[in-house]
Each structure stands twice: as structure tokens, then as C-alpha cells.
Amino acid sequence: MQRALVLGGGGVTGVAWELGLLAGLVERGVPVTGADLVVGTSAGSVVGAQVCSGLPVQRFYEEQLAPPSGGSAARLGVVALARLVWAGGRTRDEVRSRARIGAMALAARTPSEASQRAVIEARLAAREWPARRLLVTAVDAVSGEFVVFDSDSGVSLVDAVGASCAVPGVWPPVTIGARRFVDGGMRSTVNADLAAGAQRVLVLAPTSAAFGPMPRLSAQVDELRAAGSTVVVVTPDAAARTAIGRNLLDPARRAGAARAGRSQADAVADEVSALWG
């Protein structure tokens, strides 16, 4: 496997920033959307599905510039983050930590699963798994097991992406068969280690925050490099952080985050081009 594109979580604004950055890189002649492997976590699962749809990334970038419509307004603020840290940060056991977060998510009052599924479905240009290898991450809300969905999992792409985006306490856990799943970012906001074996790895990380026993992005990148992968990590620059703001789920900041990502492509294009070959 030659090239992997890893797309991390970061809410509504994370989707926008990643699409802006990807569109900017493609405009500058860096074909990053042609990766052999795409790994998507939470917001990154949405972007990953779009990247693998076969449609131009410029189209998805332009959609981010339109006034927000559809979906429920949400807030991922200090209180919600504190609840996550309290639920998952009281143990050093990763699986137990995730199970505690899952229990909190299962008990939370949220919009209905059906309404949120409709939102996810509307965001995806394609509802079938792509021919290209796409990995979508999630966490079993009861057991805390980390799960990676792909085209061989027997799970619809819509449900896999919905599970990966099910922010605990904000959106409902997603039911797949007899199991319920929450955001893949509860294991790691990026899950870059799933790109193991790729010669070149580009990581887009709207946020690299970690708490409790979560594996850190830096450690995952070190492991990839130790195994022989060349890795470039791109995180939002100062202008992008300002555009994104504090609430990652604020659709009013979507257009600004997308434009900031596209502008940031100027600064990183040479480094990414050297990586991509």
C-alpha cells in the first residue's frame, strides 16, 4: 500500500476545514484525494465517504459555503466536554473508559436516531461503500470495544458513518443489529495507527485532543514512523483555529472554517506534495 489519507474528528467545522484543505491541495496540483486507503473518524468519516465517492472534492467544499440548513443545532461546550472527561478519565483502562463514556451516551437525552440518520444520509453523496478501501471507526457503547467498519462488515455506509459521528451526550448512539455504537473519536480523535503498512501517510487532524487513557496522536505517528512510514500531520493554523471557534458543532462557522482550510493549503502544499510524490 502506497498512500494513506487519515481524516480525524472535529465536528461540523472539522468537516469544513478538512474539505477546504483538500480542495486547496487539489487545486495546487497535489492529488491527495486519490489515496489508496482512507481512514475516517467522526467528522473524518463524512469527509472520507465524500472523498471516496468519485465526485470532485471542490463540489463538497462549495457546499460548505452555503448557508447551513437541515440537522439539529448542537453545542459541544465546556459542560459537554467535562462530562466526557469525567466519564472516561477515571480509569487507565482504555476499554473500561470507553464503556463508561458509552453508558453516559446511552443515558443521555438526545434527538431520535431516525432524525439523526436522515441528517447523515443527506450529507453523503453516495450511500454505498466505495471500491476504494475506506475504514470508518466507532466504539461499542456497551462493551467499549473499538470497531472498524469497512465494505466487508455487512453494515451500511450510512450507519457506519452515523455511528462514527455519534458524539456522546449530543447525538444518539446508533443501533446496528443488536449493538449500539458511539463516536470513533472516543478511542482516538484521529486513529492514525490504522494506516499502518502505508508507505506515505497524510494525517489531517482538526483536533488532536486526548484525555484519560486515550492514545495520543503523537504516539501513533511515532509508531508509524518507527515502522517505516513517512508521515505528515496537518492541524489547523492560527487563522483556521479562529475561524473554527470553540464550538465544533456550530454550523454558522462552517463556511469560515472551509475557507480557512483552503487558504492553509498554500502553506502546506510543498510539504504534502513532497510526501505524496
CA dihedral 46, 67, 25, 225 (to 10 degrees): -40
Q: Does residue 59 carry a pLDDT above 70? A: yes
Contact 149, 160 (CB under 8 A): yes
Provide the pairing of β-strand 179-183 with 174-176. antiparallel
Domain boundaries, the chain: 3-72+109-276
Q: Which residue has the higher pLDDT, 78 or 173?
A: 173
Q: Is 266 a catalytic residue?
A: no
Checking if the pLDDT of 84 tops 90, the result is no
The pLDDT value given to residue 133: 97
Which pLDDT value is given to residue 180? 98
Catalytic residue selected from 53, 183, 208, 250:
183
Q: Is the pLDDT of residue 231 over 70?
A: yes
pLDDT at position 163: 98
Cα–Cα distance, 121 to 162 (Å, whole number): 8
pLDDT tens column, 122-181: 999 999 999 999 999 999 999 999 999 999 999 999 999 999 999 998 999 999 999 999
d(CA 239, CA 19): 16
DSSP type of residue 166: -
Catalytic residue among 42, 53, 188, 229: 42
Does pTM surpass 0.85? yes
Pick from 65-74, 90-99, 262-271 the range whose average pLDDT is largest: 262-271
Determine whether 42 is an active site residue: yes
Distance from C-alpha of 162 to C-alpha of 111, rounded to nearest angstrom? 13
Q: Which CATH number applies to 3-72+109-276: 3.40.50.300, 3.40.1090.10, 3.40.630.30, 3.40.190.10?
A: 3.40.1090.10
- Contacts for 195 with CB less than 8 Å, ≥ 6 apart: 4, 6, 37, 39, 201, 203, 224, 229
